């Protein structure tokens, strides 16, 4: 769990630095930086998505994930969690939930979060998560200076998500082949791209939270495609 703990703490420290530094920049600078960060997030999403070896897998994963996500109202649930935390810890209304949800999705989606946690749980090698900690820590400074202190609270879902993978690593590694991880990453990349769109527009035009099950339906769809030689 060391890698996950370090990752969560790095986000928290970076967020606190970003919070105290935010008044050092004018609103114009913050706005421009936010636009640049939005474009960067979209680029990250694209770079992840193009790793797919089968667009049909990603398409079916997104469709089935959307159906499940909409049925479970995941986006609404995430917003409620963010709203509750906001009422207890923040005096600023509105932006807190957006910061919490956006940062949580960015930090939890991706191959480094999955593979780093598995490696950490199986061999005690935390190198992948340590690298991710540096990246997340630096980006959390920028996120917080632009979005607000809600980013700091994303360290909690990161801890729970990566910690759960780490603890169950021995049981799930056999099922997460390179092909499955590739398609999970590609599907997650589309969600990251959606986050970038929301950040750039300033509105939740894409209900990214409701697409989260797509990352997991990608596991079963890729498995079926490989089993029946469609991959």
Closest CA to 101 of 141, 140, 157, 145: 157
Residue 90 scores a pLDDT above 70: no
**Structural domain range at position 131:** 2-227
Q: How many CB atoms sit inside 10 A of residue 178's CB? A: 8
Residue 19 scores a pLDDT above 80: yes
Dihedral sign of CA atoms 169, 71, 212, 15 in order: negative
User: Which pTM value belongs to this model?
Assistant: 0.79
Pair of tokens at residue 43: 């680029």
pLDDT at 94: 56
How far is Cα 129 from Cα 45, in angstroms, rounded to an integer? Answer: 19
Pair of tokens at residue 119: 């490696």
Total structural domains within the chain: 1
Give yes or no for a contact between 101 and 148, defined as CB atoms under 8 angstroms apart.
no
In the predicted model, what is the mean pLDDT of residues 212-231? 91
pLDDT at 188: 86
Q: How many CB atoms sit inside 10 A of residue 89's CB? A: 12
Least confident interval from 2-16, 93-107, 149-163? 93-107
Residue 92 scores a pLDDT above 60: no
**Residue 3 vs residues 21, 67, 126: alpha-carbon distances, Å:** 27, 34, 5
pLDDT at 69: 94
Within the chain, where are the H helices?
A: 2-21, 27-49, 55-72, 74-89, 95-108, 111-123, 127-147, 155-167, 169-172, 178-201, 213-227
In the predicted model, what is the mean pLDDT of residues 106-114? 82
Give yes or no for a contact between 162 and 129, defined as CB atoms under 8 angstroms apart.
yes
């Amino acid at each position: 769990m060391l890698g996950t703990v370090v990752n969560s703490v790095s986000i928290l420290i970076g967020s606190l630095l970003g919070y105290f530094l935010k008044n050092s920049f004018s609103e114009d600078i913050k706005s421009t930086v936010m636009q640049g960060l939005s474009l960067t997030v979209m680029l990250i999403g694209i770079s992840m998505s193009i790793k797919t070896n089968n667009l049909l897998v990603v398409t079916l994963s997104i469709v089935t994930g959307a159906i499940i996500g909409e049925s479970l109202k995941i986006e609404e649930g995430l917003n409620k969690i963010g709203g509750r935390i906001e009422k207890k810890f923040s005096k600023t209304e509105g932006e807190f939930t957006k910061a919490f949800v956006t940062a949580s999705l960015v930090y939890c989606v991706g191959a480094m979060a999955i593979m780093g946690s598995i490696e950490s749980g199986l061999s005690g090698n935390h190198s992948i998560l340590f690298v991710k900690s540096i990246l997340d820590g630096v980006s959390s400074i920028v996120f917080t200076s632009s979005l607000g202190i809600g980013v700091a609270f994303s360290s909690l879902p990161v801890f729970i998500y990566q910690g759960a993978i780490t603890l169950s690593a021995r049981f799930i590694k056999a099922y997460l082949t390179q092909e499955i991880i590739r398609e999970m990453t590609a599907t997650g990349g589309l969600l990251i791209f959606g986050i970038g769109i929301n950040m750039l527009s300033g509105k939740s035009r894409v209900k990214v939270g409701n697409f989260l099950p797509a990352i997991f339906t990608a596991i079963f769809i890729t498995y079926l495609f490989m089993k029946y030689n469609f991959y």
